[in-house]
Chain A
């Protein structure tokens, strides 16, 4: 296990280096100039533009810029955002927490929907419930999530006016920052008004994002449950006259490992893939932060943001594999990881 972790950590470093190289190369080739974006339409002469370029180190050879970036990143310094004049880390922090909060909420939503659907479908295989469940799953997977988001906004906010569509909490409501997860912070400080506001703001984006995972979860869990249902030890449990609930509990325990992997991979893709949702709901997450930075060519912010996202993605995969290994001793994770 220790060796596995060491190997995987080494992989994480290699992957991160490759990702940062790709980012740097891409930015180097992309047309556009942060200096020109900083001054915009303002009448600033060529000399002053050159001065800013010098200050930002943009005239250095690309390899030197890269080495500087990596050198600082190792020390935990991701530089200063060209546009917001704040350390990149202090911009990424809150955005990352916003994305995490959305991710966690979506996972909760997806489990709340996906789990019952899977159990009912599996127990009543090929019944009308099963078909309905399968159709729901297919539906959830096929629906472009940004479109679902738009339709939900249309119904819940524009016509019914019952849910907010914008940001994380209401105006004038301030939640003390402890963890950066608004709902948790509000709960910890007993700020009920803040909690209510934060929860209301979470509903639509979390449901939109959660639907797709719920669908996937339902499919995976259903097929695992069906596989297990027909195995001998379950038959044996039934034969011993255990209650349905107990049998289901045993089935679930055995169906979890593959489901955990799926959910783990899902978190990874959520972290990076929810960009459109963040745009639709003006959710101040990491994806949107990076998208904005790209359009402004805010190099330090793009590089830092992508790096953090990549590290997270790899770490989540690592944790998933470890959890899976613990849950399911039959699998010797890492014995053939290509090392």
Chain B
């Protein structure tokens, strides 16, 4: 199968803690197929899990009737992961640094920023919270 055209995989998980592990394993499978190193796959798994946990806990307020949607877009040189929830509460704007303990959400956002090559957090009135994360094959 040619990898020239982007391929997308969409995973829907209920807003219940623990289901983030399904999203992280799906992301890991895509990254492994693309040839990412085990270290980068471990980074990706943590980032995807943290984005999903933020969506489950803070976006969707642990309401199991709501969904978190994870879209993996496989491109020749990079993997993009979008995590979206139904919440409208904006992301905290203050960056977190070691030595200044944040709440769990803060640690999650901190880790995502540290581990991924590109990260964007956004909140839109009709689309809820979105996290866009990218890792590149040439930044192993």
| A and B associate | no
A interface with B by C-beta (< 8 Å): none
